[in-house]
A and B are shown apart, each in its own frame.
Chain A
Amino acid sequence: MTAQPEVPDGAPAIELRGISKAFGPVQANKGIDLRVSRGTIHGIIGENGAGKSTLMSILYGFYRPDSGEILIGGNPITITDSQTAIRAGIGMVFQHFKLVQNFTVLENVILGAEDGRLLRPSLSRARGELKRLASEYELQVDPDALVEDLSVGHQQRVEILKALYRQADILILDEPTGVLTPAEADHLFRILRGLRDEGKTIILITHKLREIMEITDNVSVMRRGEMVASVTTSETSPTQLAELMVGRKVLLRVEKAPAQPGAPVLEVRGLRMVDAAGVERLRGIDLDIRAGEVLGIAGVAGNGQTQLLEILGGYPEAGAKIEGALRLKGQPLPLTGSDAGARRKAGIGHVPEDRQVEGLIMDFSAWENVAFGYHDAPEFQSGWLMDQSAIRADAQAKIEHFDVRPPNPELAAKNFSGGNQQKIVVAREVERNPDLLLIGQPTRGVDIGAIEFIHKRIIALRDAGKAVLLVSVELDEIMALADRIAVMFDGRIMGERLPEEATTADLGCLMAGIEPGTIAPQDAIPPAALHVPAEGA
């Protein structure tokens, strides 16, 4: 649409010089230098909170850097808002899609890039353009479908189409595969390669080493707000990148003795669940979790793990239809109704997947949060009132025991770092010695030090003869902790493996819903894979 400035030959598509950005006392980016060559796929890798997203938000005009310089095609540019970024040829696919759910694909594509005051001409032009892009880059999607009816993978295509419709030359994708099945991710990578071959520049932000190795030409590593290395992908190794990411050798193995499994603590039989919208989320789950073992549930997010944890935790989605049977230590558990309190009393501890939304009340003090969920425990009451001194003492003990920093129980939960918040939740649930611990994404957004600590606690609980159900989308975490691995796909358990005999490729197949042994052609995506629920995105 707008004429782009002359690009000197050989100039990098994007060059950043000394970009810094602070949010209050937090230095999110420190003197970042980056050169991205034209027509390449450039990976940016780093842990959660390393500053990748902030950097990309600066490129897209969401934030102004405190200092530093941005050059596009060799020309210095000040990006004041998204409009400038779009005009400079930058397109962004956010981790959380920015789509209007009840608009059609076409309406979403033209939004903000309309040709005039009336919609009709824009809509017909976009229709033609979409057809062209679809055939050129494997970006097929029905232009008249409502976005809310599309699968996550298709919604992502709409985001890419939006950027291409705006004639983006540089495409930035932020954690694009987090919500995709392996098959969908493969398709995405084919699209990206096609775009690169047409001369587009692609920046891929991820924390997954495998993806970096598979698709990028060059890779830059970020750690704690700094750019610590930029290398050619073919000249590096996953181990080297991992070391750069965390700044020291990664403990991929957790020290643990072989499990001594006892009697089943929890038996799940034929568990089915249809949510309020009528979508079948669980399609017959059978599981046994025995005393003294960690059962790891692997799988791409959104394949029913959240629903499973919610049902076991005693608070299924309202209006859901649930069938099957649950037995805890031989006693049947009710399936319907929402009563997480009763589950706790029965001996089930639960570290939820999302600590900020469920596990903690962010405005409550740490001591109130240590009582959260156990606030009706008899030892916390005195007469009609709650016994605040008893709760405070209990909180103080747990905070010391788990080395929560700062060790101040009066501080509100929101004032602790992610790792320390998670320690508060884990302390609360583990210290009560539950017979069964449900633990979802135990180390999401948690720093390395706290990860080790939490992993050790999980193993210690197992060694004390308790049962642990671990749900994680991080395969490495599952491999390190679990004594048995069950892979979930589309509401089913695709298969069970022992960690010592499982390979990543084998588990990857199961995670994609493909039975090992059946030879699946590259393009054969099981129909269900196209309808990975949007939840958990």
Chain B
Amino acid sequence: MDFPTILQILDSAVRLMTPLLLACLAGLYSERAGVFDIGLEGKMLMAAFTAASVAYATDSAWLGLIAGILGAVLMSLIHGLAAITFRGNQLISGVAINFLASGLTVLLGQKIFGLAGRTPSLAGPARFSEITLPFAEALRPVPVIGPIYAELISGHTILVYIAFAMVPLTWWVLYRTRFGLRLRAVGENPASVDTAGVSVTRLRYAAVMICGALCGIAGAYLATGISAGFVKEMTAGRGFIALAALIFAKWRPWGALGACFLFGLFEALANRFPNLDLGFVTVPSMFMSALPYILTVVILAGFVGRAIPPRAGGEPYVKER
């Protein structure tokens, strides 16, 4: 593999990891607050649909983004209602949300656009365009650093940069602010927060809403950033890969960055080389696409560093007598 090819693959990995990273951080907020969320996939899907629809109708990617966030937050509200207010089973609620999004997007899409679940193609201002960072062209001739800057770092949509900026921001919020302290506490021992006079319900709803907003950005990126419109089931399991990445990252922001990059890289490699020849063995693309799941199972098995979820995760909070 030569240098330009590596650059291209890395560039592709950055694009592919963006929705994973956003969804993974979304799940991080929710799960650190003690609300398990296997409905990331559905939230992203719903957001992709609402974002594409509104972007098409208004010819504005930004309005599309807002609609995407609203779409996903709506799904989050359902999850919050089930998981927090009515103390239901969080896993089952997540499953329901995935199906709800999968059915509703096609149903509504067919009703509005009549294109068998697709939205019309988006073009121009209805999509997020790629941003060329300052001096990208000027620096290009510089060996090594130049192409890295011009190809890999420059030339992405604003949502990619937002996603990367979310990593340090999330770390800061979690470990340096009052909100973060309480959020982590409510995921470990909600009674500690409750007896301190802070509302468990409000905190958990806040976390679930942030989760929805981030899934919304992820969905909008899929429909108006990386592609030009919504296609049925376009999330294609990314919500679950994000979930896998979250476990891989042990529920930590910087870990999420690493895990999502790794999984994005797998996808980029699988796309580029349907049969990756490593000299001694040929790796079929199916293996590359299954690799994130296999690695996550290995991590879950605890053979390579144990992943311990937040202690109160999955449990609705009921006051003790």
Contact = CB atoms under 8 A, between A and B. Distances in A.
A–B direct touch, CB within 8 Å, in complex? Answer: yes
Given A54-B321, A117-B179, A120-B176, A108 B195 contact: no
Interface in A21-42: 23
A99 interface: yes
Interface residues of A, number: 34
A411 to B, nearest CB: 22
Interface in B137-194: 176-182, 184-185, 188-189, 191-194
Contacts of A82: 194-197
A98 B191 contact: yes
Interface string B191-205: 111111110000000
Interface in A108-124: 108, 110-114, 116-120, 122
A101 B310 CA distance: 11
Nearest to B175: A119
B320 interface: yes
Contact of A114 (B181, B192, B195, B319): B181
B108 to A, nearest CB: 40
A99 B178 contact: no
A119 B178 contact: yes
B176 A119 contact: yes
Contacts of B194: 82, 98
B232 interface: no
Contacts of B179: 117
A111 B320 contact: no
Interface centre among A54, A57, A98, A99 (most CB of B within 10 A): A98
A81 B196 contact: no
Interface in B202-236: none
A23 B198 CA distance: 24
A86 B197 contact: yes
Given A114-B181, A118-B178, A119-B177, A108 B192 contact: yes
A55 to B, nearest CB: 12
A146 B89 CA distance: 31
A101 B179 CA distance: 18
Contacts of A380: none
A222 to B, nearest CB: 15
B315 to A, nearest CB: 15
A98 B195 contact: yes
A53 to B, nearest CB: 7
Q: Which of B182, B191, B196, B198 has the most CB of A within 10 A?
A: B196
Nearest to B189: A100
* Most A-side CB within 10 Å, residue of B184, B195, B311: B195
Contact of A111 (B176, B182, B321): B182
B177 A117 contact: yes
Given A81-B197, A82-B195, A101 B189 contact: yes
A92 B197 contact: no
B185 A100 contact: yes
Contacts, number: 74
Contact of B193 (A92, A111, A119, A122): A111
Contacts of B189: 98-101
Nearest to A122: B178
Contact of A98 (B180, B182, B192, B321): B192
Contacts of B319: 62
Contacts of B197: 81-83, 85-86, 112
A228 to B, nearest CB: 22
Interface string A114-152: 101111101000000000000000000000000000000
B320 A96 contact: yes
Nearest to B195: A98
A102 interface: yes
Nearest to A54: B321
Contacts of A122: 178
A27 to B, nearest CB: 14
A103 B195 contact: no
Contacts of B185: 100, 103, 111
Nearest to B319: A62
A52 to B, nearest CB: 12
B192 A111 contact: yes
Interface string B71-105: 00000000000000000000000000000000000
A53 B181 contact: no
Contacts of A162: 196
B200 to A, nearest CB: 11
Nearest to A86: B197
Contacts of A57: 321
B319 to A, nearest CB: 6
Nearest to B196: A112
A94 interface: yes
A418 to B, nearest CB: 14
Given A96-B320, A99-B189, A103-B185, A116 B178 contact: yes
A99 B188 CA distance: 9
B195 A94 contact: yes
A82 B196 CA distance: 7
A226 interface: no
B34 to A, nearest CB: 12
A347 to B, nearest CB: 39
A107 interface: yes
Contacts of B311: 101-102
Contacts of B180: 119
Interface string A57-99: 1001010000000000000000001110110000010101011
Contacts of A103: 184-185, 188
A63 to B, nearest CB: 8
B188 A100 contact: yes
A81 B193 CA distance: 12
A484 B216 CA distance: 69
A291 to B, nearest CB: 43
Contacts of A60: 195
Nearest to A85: B197
Contacts of B198: 83, 111-112
A108 B185 CA distance: 9
Contacts of B192: 98-100, 108, 111
Contacts of B320: 96
A178 to B, nearest CB: 16
B196 A113 contact: yes
A359 B300 CA distance: 32
A62 B196 CA distance: 12
A96 B195 CA distance: 12
B178 A53 contact: no
Nearest to B310: A102
Contacts of B193: 111-112
A60 B194 CA distance: 11
Nearest to A96: B320
A78 to B, nearest CB: 15
B167 to A, nearest CB: 19
Nearest to A159: B195
Given A98-B196, A118-B177, 10 more contacts: A23-B321, A82-B194, A96-B191, A99-B189, A100-B185, A111-B185, A111-B193, A112-B182, A114-B178, A116-B178
5 contacts: A54-B321, A114-B178, A114-B181, A117-B177, A120-B176
Rank and list the top 7 A-B pairs by shortest CB-CB distance, nearest first.
Answer: A112-B196, A83-B197, A82-B197, A114-B178, A98-B195, A98-B192, A98-B191
Interface of B: 176-182, 184-185, 188-189, 191-198, 311, 319-321
